[in-house]
């Protein structure tokens, strides 16, 4: 059951909301500004120059959005493929060094991924997968997989074995158990893990640059020089675009999966 907020939780909630919304509001203002200097509270004049550039075909924006999407989705699928068996083992089975294994699988995010990748880079070059989509996908799996494993593991430990036993006794063979019992139970974990993967993958800069060698251009890659190099309006426009793409992707993910498995009151 969901409860309604009382005042004690409402005040901090409001505070957090302001903290979350204010930067976005300023980003949108910035993207439409033509020079916004101290001590003005609001930009002195507006125009749509930055947006016109970002939306124009020769800016390569659409291509980079598509690249970002491709990267994020392929990374998510690979993560699922790897994390489901791992989560099953970690969440439902007892074996020697289980806890240690869990910690080891967390290592890629405990150690900064860039550091690991610096070492991996030579191997990638030897395998000649640098400057390819495959290489970048592989590099994106590194910092995202631990999150996926973590959330799927929790779901598996909640699932246990008893639900499958029950379904079996009601005549469900393994494929029906997978479809009617296992997947619905794992869905919250899969959604959480996928959302994290998509967001983290989309916001990678250094890793994409390093492995992609400037050949794989994501939205973040397009945005970075502008944020860094002085054209703040264009940088802000890219940032807003980035947020929109991520938001739409998350909403679609949530809707489609919930539609598939009418997920109620779990």
* Candidate ranges 33-41, 132-140, 176-184, 212-220; the one touching other proteins (CB under 8 A): 176-184
> Is residue 255 involved in binding other proteins (CB under 8 A)?
no
The Cα 23–Cα 235 span in angstroms is 14
Distance separating alpha carbons of residues 40 and 181, to the nearest angstrom:
58
State the alpha helices, DSSP H only, in 32-94: 49-55, 61-92
The residue within the footprint of other proteins, chosen from 181, 190, 198, 241 (CB under 8 A), is 181
Among 127, 170, 248, 255, binds other proteins (CB under 8 A): 170
Could you say whether residue 172 binds other proteins (CB under 8 A)? yes
How far is the C-alpha of 148 from the C-alpha of 211, rounded, in Å? 22
Tokens standing for residue 263: 């997920």
92 binds other proteins (CB under 8 A): no
| Residue 162 in contact with other proteins, rule: CB under 8 A | yes
Among 55, 165, 251, 252, binds other proteins (CB under 8 A): 165
The single residue among 6, 37, 115, 173 that binds other proteins, judged by CB under 8 A, is: 173
13-35 in b/e form (b: 16+ CB < 10 A) is: eeeeeeeeeeeeeebeebbbbee
Q: Establish if 167 lies at the interface with other proteins (CB under 8 A).
A: yes
DSSP state of 197: H
Q: Does position 119 bind other proteins by CB under 8 A?
A: no
Count of residues that bind other proteins according to CB under 8 A: 22
How far apart are CB 166 and other proteins at their closest, in Å? 4
254 interacts with other proteins by CB under 8 A: no
- 3-state SS assignment for residue 145: helix
Q: Is 34 an interacting residue with respect to other proteins (CB under 8 A)?
A: no
Please tell me whether residue 180 binds other proteins under the rule CB under 8 A: yes
Nearer to other proteins, 10 or 260 (CB): 260
Joined together, the tokens standing for residue 117 give: 């990748």
Token pair 């125009």 is found at: 47
Sign of CA dihedral 158, 164, 167, 173: positive
3-state SS assignment for residue 8: helix
Q: In this chain, which stretch among 61-69, 115-123, 174-182, 216-224 interacts with other proteins, using CB under 8 A? A: 174-182
Could you give the dihedral angle defined by the CA atoms of residues 210, 213, 219 and 220, in that order, rounded to the nearest 10 degrees?
30
Task: In angstroms, give the least distance from the CB of 224 to other proteins.
Answer: 43
User: For residues 111 and 145, what is the distance between their CA atoms, to the nearest angstrom?
Assistant: 14
CB 1 to other proteins: min, Å: 9
The reply on whether position 259 binds other proteins by CB under 8 A is: no
Query: With binding defined as CB under 8 A, does residue 262 bind other proteins?
Result: yes
By CB under 8 A, name the binding residues for other proteins: 162-163, 165-173, 176, 180-181, 184-185, 261-266
């Amino acid at each position: 059951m969901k409860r309604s907020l009382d005042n004690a939780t409402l005040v901090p909630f409001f505070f957090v909301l302001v903290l979350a919304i204010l930067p976005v509001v300023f980003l949108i203002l910035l993207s439409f500004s033509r020079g916004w200097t101290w001590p003005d509270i609001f930009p002195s004049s507006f125009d749509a120059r930055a947006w016109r550039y970002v939306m124009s075909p020769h800016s390569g924006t659409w291509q980079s959005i598509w690249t970002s999407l491709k990267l994020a989705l392929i990374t998510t699928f690979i993560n699922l493929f790897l994390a489901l068996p791992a989560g099953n083992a970690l969440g439902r089975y007892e074996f020697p060094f289980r806890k240690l294994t869990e910690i080891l699988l967390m290592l890629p995010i405990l150690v900064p991924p860039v550091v690991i990748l610096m070492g991996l880079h030579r191997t990638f070059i030897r395998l000649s997968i640098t400057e390819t989509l495959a290489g970048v996908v592989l590099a994106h799996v590194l910092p995202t997989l631990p999150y996926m494993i973590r959330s799927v593991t929790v779901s598996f430990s909640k699932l246990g074995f008893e639900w499958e036993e029950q379904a079996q006794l009601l005549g469900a063979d393994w494929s029906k158990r997978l479809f009617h019992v296992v997947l619905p139970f794992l869905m919250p974990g899969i959604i959480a893990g996928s959302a994290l993967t998509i967001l983290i993958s989309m916001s990678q800069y250094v890793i994409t640059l390093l492995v992609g060698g400037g050949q794989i251009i994501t939205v973040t890659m397009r945005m970075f020089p502008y944020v860094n190099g002085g054209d703040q309006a264009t940088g802000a426009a890219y940032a807003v675009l980035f947020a929109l793409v991520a938001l739409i992707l998350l909403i679609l993910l949530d809707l489609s999966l919930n539609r598939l498995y009418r997920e109620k009151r779990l």
